[in-house]
Structure 1
Amino acid sequence: MSPSKPSGASRRPAKRRLEKLQNPDKPVRRERAGAKKHRAKVSDQWQSYRSHHQQVALDSLRRLLRRPLATLMTTLVIAIAMVLPAGLYVGLNNVESVSQGWDGAARLSLFLKFSVDDRAAEELRARLANRDDIASAEYISPAAALEEFRDRSGFGEVLDQLDSNPLPGLIVLSPSPANSQPEQVNALRDALAELPEADLVKLDMEWLQRLGQITEISRRVTLALAIMLAAGVLLIVGNTIKLAIENRRDEILVVKLVGGTNAFVRRPFLYMGFWYGLFGGLLAWVMLVGCLLWLGGPVRQLAGLYGSDYTLLGLGIGDTLLMWFSASALGLLGAMLVVGRELRAIEPK
């Protein structure tokens, strides 16, 4: 009895196994095709998402431009809140720039007793100049000091009426660069005050140190003012967005009835807050530049009277971009703080 031939149904699995052995890459090609299809789907979703954001942003911008007066009023309030701390910041930068142009080395004025004559003063000057912690020492005699005071004060006739010279001898000392730290300068001042010829030791750069402390206090005040005004911007933008939501309540109800999510409805109002902040930052920058141009001429004339070519410093590129970004972020944050709560309260019945 001859063996029966395998049927077609039994040959097909064997044929498939043979094709799988001969073409092991075929399933891989199917998986790659599926991955490409998935990537294409993700790309389409991203393209649609980006297109919708662009459309919503432009629509929000058109809505603001259709109400120019109301938009200008809100933008102007934001700009004023932004330009105040920015103006203080620019002012502090100019003060620091001016102070850096002065001689930053501390100088000590050693006032001698009236009993010290010129010869003893010169010997003391030479002895101090040889110290390692002193870079230079200059002696100003009482006669030279009186003559200099006569030339600068304009009280020559009054000084001629004096019976004697009221000014003492003076030695002006400059600490060495290696001993110019505040602690070292103060130690040098204490050591000079113990000299038997010394009557008074004065640190000439104390006023500049006081100016530095005043500048630091002003910088902290500016920061506190900026924080308070930023909170004001959040309130302004939040109230403006709240009114816009109330004006479009019916539109929001219709969108939610047809299946619109809160994220979909929230997007136009977030862009509206962003535009408010950006416009406020741009207007604040224009106002600040205008004020600097207005003050630039008088400042140059005043600097010229002191023999200086100083000009006002403005905001650099980095500070300008930071100002615009901060204003936009404040507008967006102010909208975010209001939109979510308001939209949750608007639900179709």
Structure 2
Amino acid sequence: MLVTSRKKNPQRDDNAFFPRWIRQIKYAWQNVFNDCKQHIFATLLTIIVIAISIVLPTISYLLWKNANEAAHQWYPTPNLTVYLDKSLTQQETDTLVSNIKQYPEVADVVYLSREQTLEEFKLWSGFSEAIDLLDENPLPAVAIVIPKEEAKQSAILHAMQTEIVQLKGVSDVRLDDSWFTRLTALTDMVKAIAWTIAIFMMIAVSLVIGNSIRLAIFARRQTIIVMQLIGATEGFILRPFLYSGMFNGFVSAVVALILSEIFIFQIEAIILNVSSVFGTIFTIDGLNWDEALFIVLLSTIIGWLSALVATKKYLKMTHIA
């Protein structure tokens, strides 16, 4: 009796849920790989089309990412330049600068005395000899207000300008943010274009995967009918097509990442030549590991969802399921 029970235990284990589920998964993946081998040319074309559809928004994102970094590197956030009244004493000047520092939007205040502003003007203007002919220093003391990171917005800076100019002892407050506004608008435009391209390309990826799954269903229509006649469940029938969509999305994403790195490598030398003209060194950054993993996961999920929708739809249309 002990020998008989030992012989029956492996059969019971094989018919358990988990081993049976593993066998179904292996069967589904074998069908996916066998279908790829039988239709290798059509599979490659599908993967290439999907990869190109993924590359376009990826390159657009890289352009926006590097343009945004270049904007912060070449054009820092504008500061408020506060011109102080010439009649202020040193104690009144220190008190005024201290009051400006108390603003919650202010990170720091750099004070330049009248003598320091005169030296700066001589250094950058080239009129040092003409300035020396004057009887007195015509330049006022200046306080350069550096805003905090969360206050680096045109609306907040203009509000600060309005408040500071009303302080006693302040002659004028200047904020040259015209270039900053244009640069922000330009980067926002690139970001909007990248998102628009990404949305259209995700729709294109879904349509391509859905169409390939639809063709696979019609090619295996008779096989599906036989599987239903012998009692195969809907999940067992759908699983190979779902895995096929995931496979196409995953492989296409990997190919798209390779093509994106090739694009970065090709234009990096050109960007270095252009940045050297502006007197700076700017390197192109590619995708980091988090961004690459996100693209792969997103493409795989889109492939699975597209295959699920297409399979459900066309199985009902053909009255198989």
2:217 match: secondary structure: helix
Q: Name the counterpart of 2:133.
A: none
How do 1:1-349 and structure 2 match up within 5 A?
Answer: 41=13, 44-101=16-73, 104=76, 106-109=78-81, 131-132=97-98, 133=100, 135-138=109-112, 140=117, 148=124, 173-175=143-145, 181=151, 185-190=157-162, 201-346=173-318
Q: More displaced, 297-306 or 84-93?
A: 297-306
1:330 to 1:188, Cα distance in 2 relative to 1, 3 A = closer
Structure 1 runs not aligned, ≥5 long:
1-32, 113-119, 152-167
Taking structure 2 as the reference length, what is the TM-score of the superposition? 0.73
Asked if the contact 1:242/1:338 (under 8 Å) is kept, the reply is yes
Q: More displaced, 281-290 or 206-215?
A: 206-215
1:314 match: secondary structure: coil
* Aligned alpha-carbon RMSD (Å): 4.0
1:345 is displaced (CA, Å) by: 4.1
Counterpart residue identity of residue 38, structure 2: R
Counterpart residue identity of residue 88, structure 1: S
1:285 is displaced (CA, Å) by: 0.7
**d(CA) in 1 for partners of 2:122 and 2:42?**
69
1:109 to 1:74, Cα distance in 2 relative to 1, 3 A = same
1:172 to 1:89, Cα distance in 2 relative to 1, 3 A = farther
Q: Name the counterpart of 1:20.
A: none
| Deviations 1:69-118, CA, capped at 9 Å, x for gaps | 21122112211221222222222222232334357454234689xxxxxx
1:298 to 1:179, Cα distance in 2 relative to 1, 3 A = closer
| Deviations 1:211-256, CA, capped at 9 Å, x for gaps | 3354345434433432232122111111111111111222222222
1:172 to 1:239, Cα distance in 2 relative to 1, 3 A = farther
Q: Name the counterpart of 2:104.
A: none
**d(CA) in 2 for partners of 1:331 and 1:234?**
7
Name which one, 1 or 2, has greater alpha-carbon Rg.
Answer: 1
Q: More displaced, 319-328 or 46-55?
A: 46-55
Taking structure 1 as the reference length, what is the TM-score of the superposition? 0.68
1:305 to 1:345, Cα distance in 2 relative to 1, 3 A = closer
**d(CA) in 1 for partners of 2:193 and 2:149?**
33
Asked if the contact 1:105/1:180 (under 8 Å) is kept, the reply is no
Structure 2 runs not aligned, ≥5 long:
102-108, 128-137
Counterpart residue identity of residue 110, structure 2: S
1:52 is displaced (CA, Å) by: 2.1
**d(CA) in 2 for partners of 1:54 and 1:179?**
54
1:201 is displaced (CA, Å) by: 4.5
Counterpart residue identity of residue 235, structure 1: L
1:203 is displaced (CA, Å) by: 1.0
Q: How many residues align?
A: 291
